[in-house]
Amino acid sequence: MGQYVSAYLTYGVPLPEHLTARELEDALKARRHREVSYLMAGTYDRHKPYLVTACFSGEPGFFERVEGIQSDGEERAWDLALTKTLEANGWPERKPSWMLIASVS
């Protein structure tokens, strides 16, 4: 059994670790902010949930160009969308930021 290593550059917040992909899908079905999604990533059998807007992926050791990163106005809109989604679902509020997340699956 092999391992697949990837990396994600994403804008968002970490979520409580007990949330599953199914719970996140159900919570986001009725979302008002379509730009908000989720990512499950982390160590081999312990992926953690993240609430995200922008998400770029790549393989370690390879060059990836990320284009189209938002303006300040777009980042403020993402902050609002993420905050509203956290509030609507009763999840802890955290300040959104850019995160580089390594993942092994």
Whole domain around residue 93: which residue ranges?
Answer: 5-104
- pLDDT tens digits, 13-30: 999 999 999 999 999 987
Give the DSSP letter of residue 92. Answer: P
- pLDDT tens digits, 58-85: 877 877 777 666 677 788 889 999 999 9
Strand order in the sheet with 37-43: 37-43, 46-58, 5-14, 97-104
User: In CATH, what number is assigned to the domain containing residue 29?
Assistant: 3.30.70
- Residues 56 and 64: beta-carbon distance below 8 Å: yes
pTM score of the predicted model: 0.86
- Total of domains in the chain: 1
Residue 19 in 3-state DSSP? coil
